[in-house]
Amino acid sequence: MTRLSTEIERLWGTPQAPRAAVIELAAPADWPAVAALCKGLQADLQLPLPAIAVNGRDGLQLWLALADDVPARQARSLLDALLARYAPEPRSRRITLWPADGQPAPAWPPLEVQPGQWSAFVAPDLAPLFADDPWLDMLPNPDGQADVLQGIRCISAADLGDALRQLLPAAAATAQASAPVAPPAAASPRTTLPGGPWQDPRAFLLAVMNDDSVPMAQRIEAAKGLIQGV
């Protein structure tokens, strides 16, 4: 194995069993938003700095590394709560999150996304330079990529749980304040979820959390229930 493949496997597992959590901000690449997310992860939540990557097309990515015992649903809850806390305003950019139900794990850099445009991991102090052109013109040096990754560590289940306990109340309040007020006679989104009638509370909460049509405040409350073992 090369140094780069060793670092990638240490942080994100294998393509068959990936452990990544990824936020992509694209069209346009938004460095201030990425910087705010990084600051929140480190300064407020005491979590490791994620790897920063250019996606080879039009965006920047944050690659969070997860320990083996971190469930995918909790990783996704962290990404949703991070956006609600640190980037709550309406955005014109495209946001892609993974884990996502039914979606394969993204291919980690380096990768030639289109002719002459490579995705790559970049050092935090260099990332702002790629906001306008988020790609490299040639295959990045594998040892240089390994150097970028060697200081990154995985998020443990305990640390992720602590972060979610800090984030979820604030995220729920933000989402509730910005959510439109439904007419009194309107049916609750939870009553229209597919798969009912529900017998398993855990299955119901998981369906609520993953349903994009449900207001964010309710999805966050469902995530809290899952974390607490309801």
CATH code of residue 63: 3.90.920
Give the residues across from 95 on adjacent strands: 25
Residue 168 has pLDDT above 60, yes or no: yes
In a domain, 64, yes or no: yes
- If pLDDT is split at 50, 70 and 90, which confidence band does 1 have? confident
In a domain, 141, yes or no: yes
How many C-alpha atoms does 15 have within 13 Å on its Cβ side? Answer: 6
In a domain, 63, yes or no: yes
- If pLDDT is split at 50, 70 and 90, which confidence band does 196 have? low
DSSP 53-107: EE-SSSEEEEEEEB-TT--HHHHHHHHHHHHHHHS-S--SSEEEEES-TT-PPPP
- If pLDDT is split at 50, 70 and 90, which confidence band does 92 have? low
Predicted pLDDT at 185: 42
The residue type at 137: D
Residue 188 has pLDDT above 80, yes or no: no
In a domain, 165, yes or no: no
The DSSP bridge pattern shows strands 111-114 and 117-122 to be antiparallel
The chain-wide mean pLDDT, for the chain, equals 83
Quote the DSSP letter at residue 154.
Answer: P
What integer is the mean pLDDT of 155-176? 77
Predicted pLDDT at 67: 93
In a domain, 227, yes or no: no
Residue 39 has pLDDT above 90, yes or no: yes
Rounded CA gap, 52 and 37, in Å? Answer: 11
Using alpha carbons, select from 143, 159, 140 the residue that is nearest to residue 53.
140
Q: Give buried/exposed letters for 111-137 (b at 16+ CB in 10 A, else e).
A: eebeeebbbbbbeeeebeebbeebbbe
Rounded CA gap, 83 and 185, in Å? Answer: 31
Task: Specify the pTM.
Answer: 0.74
**170 is written with which tokens?**
């604030």
Residue 181 has pLDDT above 50, yes or no: no
Number of domains in the chain: 1
At 108-155, the pLDDT tens digits run 999 999 999 999 999 999 999 998 999 999 999 999 999 999 999 999
- If pLDDT is split at 50, 70 and 90, which confidence band does 224 have? low
In a domain, 178, yes or no: no
User: What is the residue range of 19's domain?
Assistant: 3-149
In a domain, 52, yes or no: yes
In a domain, 169, yes or no: no
Rounded CA gap, 78 and 96, in Å? Answer: 14
Predicted pLDDT at 202: 64
Predicted pLDDT at 197: 54
